[in-house]
Amino acid sequence: MELHKASAYLEHKKWSSDTNYALGLYRFFYKILGIWPINYDSLKTRFRVLIIVLIMISEIWSFTYKLIIMGNCGSILDIVDIVNVTSCCFLAILMIIVHRMEMKKISFILKSVINDWENMMNKKSCVIMKKIAYYTKTAFVIQIVSYCLVLIQHIFIEPLIIMWNSDKDYNEIKQNFRVMPTEPACWAPKNESFNFYIIYYIYQSIQLILVATVVLSYFNFFCGIAMHLYGQYMILFNHLKSINNINNKSKQRKFIYKFLKRHNHLLKVSKYFEEIYNLIIFVDVGNMILIICISGIGLLITVKQNDTYVVSGFIIKTLIMLTRLFIYCFIGEKLSGIINSIDIIIYNDINWHELDTSSIKMLIFVMMRSLYRYELTAYHIVPLNYESFIKIIKLIGSYFSVLRLTLTNV
């Protein structure tokens, strides 16, 4: 029932300027993709989602078919790009499907976030929330600019550079110029007209822009909501310490009751959050490890050829994937760490001797409940924390060491 009410609440709730500052970008991109809770079930939104999914499927099928039939006729870096885009398309489809299936839970989470912004407890809470919103929004804007620069490079700059360095004869260019945004030029059909090539080039550019938009929107929405939850737990636990200033036993019990109600609500939001994203995280983490390993193979092969452009491309891709992987583990460490710290906070920071028996019992139950540890996971297999990040790095390092010895002996 709560999930149904959340969807209805979002349809009629007007946002304040602070709420719009924190969630405005997510709403803008999610509405474009048809996965924002409001009017998500309308015919227009369903049609938009269907078109996006079909475009992604066509890209996966096209790249897979050409890779099997035509093989690698370009550089190793081209193959890594193709695998990366294909896996991102699969991730984008999965993300859209999961968001559509779990829309009621997402509505519940968003209702909670909006209420947090509309009903900030005090100035200190406001400072914490705005600080987190500033960092997450700044990171989002930086990624938008970075993605735009990458898309401009792939779609416009690289073809123009190749065209400039080639024969300037217009008829020759129309006949032979077949550079594509995301695939080797040798995959483009040579016997097709130049007009068909332009149409296909535009279509593939749209595919690339779409997959970048989906992955970018999902990743930043995930990070933004996770860090907002982190901030809410921080505010709640800081507020709990103020019970030491309450001397009236009745007021202490009312204070603890409100704390328990709020804590239970945040645990429910955190549970829904993990249920929605654990499968998507699993696929995304697997994709990142795959790209890192393939980039490692390409790096070890091309480093002997002294090709600076290709080597730098592999290094940049590896660093980007490692950064994304670290962000996942950082968020998991922070969120699970603060949720599971409630027993230590209650034990260390509360003046037990000043509480009555009823209040003490309620706090003991909270401490007992914390024995069930919360973890943000990749499909309940890998917990997202610093330890998992180090293990993955060690595993990849061992893989590179064995591969380097193998290639040396070949």
Mean pLDDT in residue range 383-400: 91
In the chain, the N- to C-terminal Cα span, in Å, equals: 64
**pLDDT higher at 276 or 399:** 276
Closest-CA residue to 143 (of 227, 218, 55, 33) = 218
Q: Is 32 in contact with 144 (CB distance < 8 Å)?
A: no
Give the tens place of pLDDT for each residue, 69-124: 877 776 777 788 888 889 999 999 999 999 999 999 999 999 999 999 988 767 88
CA dist., res. 317 & res. 384, Å (int): 21
Which residues pair with residue 383 across a beta bridge? 377
Q: What band does 314 get if pLDDT is binned at 50, 70 and 90?
A: confident
Mean pLDDT in residue range 372-382: 92
Q: pTM score, two decimals?
A: 0.91
| pLDDT at residue 295, rounded to an integer | 85
Across 6-15, 158-167, 316-325, which has the greatest mean pLDDT?
Answer: 316-325
| pLDDT at residue 288, rounded to an integer | 92
- Record the tokens describing residue 31, joined without a space: 């509405």
| pLDDT at residue 401, rounded to an integer | 77
Q: What band does 171 get if pLDDT is binned at 50, 70 and 90?
A: low
Closest-CA residue to 29 (of 305, 172, 219, 168) = 219
Mean pLDDT score across all residues of the chain = 86
CA dist., res. 56 & res. 100, Å (int): 16
pLDDT at residue 165 tops 80: no
Give the tens place of pLDDT for each residue, 189-201: 667 777 888 888 8
Mean pLDDT in residue range 294-305: 80
Which residues have C-beta within 8 Å of that of residue 380, sequence separation ≥ 6?
A: 278
Closest-CA residue to 10 (of 35, 33, 36) = 36
How many residues are present in the chain?
Answer: 410
Q: Is 385 in contact with 333 (CB distance < 8 Å)?
A: yes
CA 108 to chain centre: 19
CA 292, 298, 299, 301 torsion: positive or negative? Answer: positive
